[in-house]
Chains A and B, each alone.
Chain A
Amino acid sequence: MRSDADLVLSGAEEVVLPKTARLNKLRWHCRRALLELDLVFKRYWERVGDSIDAEEESALRALLAEEDHDLWALVSGKVAPDDVDVVRDNLLAELRRP
């Protein structure tokens, strides 16, 4: 049974999925071409579990749209983002935390 609480809005295409399925989909999108990123995201999900909030979820979805080499450059700190976005920058710091 789907409850309204599951239906957190975070991006138009994701509206219809219940939260558990939506997070599973997001977890799958963390399967990347580079092992480095797979390992970073594995560690991340082990830490946050299902406790990720809507803002962070949205920031993560945006990061996952990056190309893998660019994403690794951001996560490893080799390249800094061109703008300031507190939620995203906190997420990057969290991803970077060993």
Chain B
Amino acid sequence: MSYTVRKFDAVIVGAGGAGLRAAIQLSEAGMKTAVLTKVFPTRSHTVAAQGGVAASLGNSEEDHWHWHMYDTVKGSDWLGDQDAIEFMCRKANECVIELEHYGMPFDRLDNGRIYQRPFGGHMSNFGEKPVRRSCAAADRTGHAMLHAMYQRNVKANTQFFVEWMALDLIRDAEGDVLGVTAMDMETGEIVVFHSKATIFATGGAGRIYYSSTNAFINTGDGVGMAARAGIPLEDMEFWQFHPTGVAGAGVLITEGVRGEGGILRNSQGERFMERYAPNAKDLASRDVVSRAMVTEINEGRGCGPNKDFVLLDITHLPPETIMKRLPGIHEIAVQFAGVDALKEPIPVVPTCHYQMGGIPTNYSGQVVVPKGDNHSAPVGGFYAAGECACASVHGANRLGTNSLLDLLVFGKSAGETAVNDLKGGALAHKPLPNDAIDRSLARVDRLNNQKSGSNPHETRLEMQRTMQKHAGVFRFKDMLVEGVTKIQKVADDVAQLEIGDKSKVFNTARIEALELENLIEVAKATMVSANARTESRGAHVRDDALDTPETPNGRDDKNWLKHSLWSRDGNQMSYKPVQMKPLTVDTIELKKRAY
């Protein structure tokens, strides 16, 4: 059958921070570059990032990239690759200053330099004391960053395909990537984007969980596409959770609420944190608080008809303190919990926030897969950056403000590598395989013709509830084993999705069904990888991983200092070593992670 083919030097999927940064690199080098995006670029989820971007500029006090590197390795619980972490921390200053030159309105010191503030986990002198390392633009850092980079792309003639959804990766018999298929939402037409270089920057997939801080667009499209195209997914068991998201909604209640005196209570009204952390109580670290909340719920002391949340109580605080010190919390409670927080406690649950794993890449942004003896062989023509990718700099746990840095450094790096590969002649428009578009057409045809299938809304909910219950912030062996079976059953339902609306123009039911086909790959990868990893490390915490002198906090370096690789074909796990050797400095040696 005939179909439209559009040819570009480079096609980038996703127009958040990583995609826009990669596009600048390509377009400014004169490459014909297309960016495909489901929503207008400045509506990407990068907008939600408020904290800032980490860089050891040392504008307010002494700082060094090596200290930043140490903090990141430690934060990752030693699962991060030390070559990639050194690369990121050394490139941070350059990337932040470039961004400033693009017009990013950073907050400033009186002397005109970029203002920097402290942030959790960022320390000076190898963990000695907190350091001011985060560069921010008020509380709109992500938003300002996207605007600056979008304008730069417009100037560089990047071609945006807004409201286009990429459907599938195109690979040839040699495994090289030749572009993607994509649907124009306005017409429903499916087109082939034939490219020499293809860069995925599609963000995270936090919507696999019932309680998630992620916007609805975060459906792991790139990760799902990569998995379907035979790329294994790395470290997908590692998800960062925030302890207090509004139950049933996911909207974050800032830690400042507990800082101002907010108290967590169970169904008996008990201040249960006193039992788990007698000193810090409600101000214990995120993981301790989250684990205590889940234990309360699992032991039947949760609140509500399903006993599936706990309460965050600020009713004892003076109303004027709440309105003055915690602006916005009252409105969030009214809007999303239906309670007046001055009079009633707010229902909260640990909530998924960030995906540490993803499409495996090296620090040059090339997607890498095991091939023969090489556990990280680059895939021709394929690059990835940002939350969808796993470089791996966050390892088992991400430090705050390192996500915006990740997307800047690796967005640029992926773009730069692609430019070099294009200029060096390593990439060409290889002939498209005869079946380039067939898989995508078949997926859409099946959706159009499915009879007596499963309901997308109910199936999505079933996936989200299964993930929340069986692979949430605190994990239990039996629940994980059961979760593997349950999520496979949900995957069977996803393969039978049926949509009522068969129209072509802006058929949101179809788009959501296609998104669910991506989410389920991420969900399966997460559940199977989490079940397989029998230790606790960073954000992956299991009740059966015991704290012993050999396995501090349940971390088992002897058996588990390695990256997980989940393959869709057969739901198989394999592993590859963590890169412990940095680029130029000495290895940051293993030790117990404690703050």
Contacts and interface: CB of A to CB of B under 8 A. Distances in A.
Interface string B337-372: 010000000000000000000000000000000000
Contact of B215 (A17, A34, A69, A76): A34
B506 interface: yes
A73 to B, nearest CB: 10
Interface residues of B, number: 37
A35 B328 contact: no
Interface string B203-247: 000000000111111000000000000000000000000000000
Nearest to A35: B215
Interface stretch (B36-44, B306-314, B567-575): B36-44
Most chain-B CB neighbours within 10 Å: which of A34, A35, A78?
A: A35
Contact of A28 (B48, B185, B251, B334): B185
A20 to B, nearest CB: 7
Nearest to A41: B216
B249 interface: yes
A20 B48 contact: no
A78 B47 contact: no
Contacts of A40: 335
Interface residues of A, number: 26
A67 interface: yes
A47 interface: no
Contact of B214 (A17, A35, A77): A35
B505 A31 contact: no
A49 interface: no
B328 A76 contact: yes
A69 B49 CA distance: 11
A28 B217 CA distance: 10
Most chain-A CB neighbours within 10 Å: which of B48, B213, B249?
A: B48
A33 B508 contact: no
Given A35-B48, A35-B251, A40-B335, A20 B503 contact: yes
Contacts of B495: none
A88 B422 CA distance: 50
Given A21-B505, A28-B506, A35-B251, A68 B331 contact: no
Specify the main secondary structure of chain A where it touches its partner: helix
Most chain-B CB neighbours within 10 Å: which of A17, A25, A40, A42?
A: A25
B331 A76 contact: yes
A62 interface: no
B424 interface: no
A24 B143 contact: no
Nearest 9 pairs of A and B residues by beta carbon: A33-B47, A21-B505, A24-B506, A25-B506, A38-B216, A76-B331, A33-B43, A35-B215, A24-B508
Interface of B: 38-39, 42-48, 140, 143, 163, 185-186, 212-217, 249-251, 327-328, 331-332, 334-336, 338, 503, 505-508, 511
Interface of A: 17-18, 20-21, 24-25, 27-28, 31-36, 38-40, 42, 67-69, 76-78, 96, 98
14 contacts: A17-B505, A24-B503, A24-B506, A25-B506, A28-B163, A32-B43, A33-B43, A33-B46, A34-B47, A36-B332, A36-B336, A38-B216, A78-B331, A98-B334
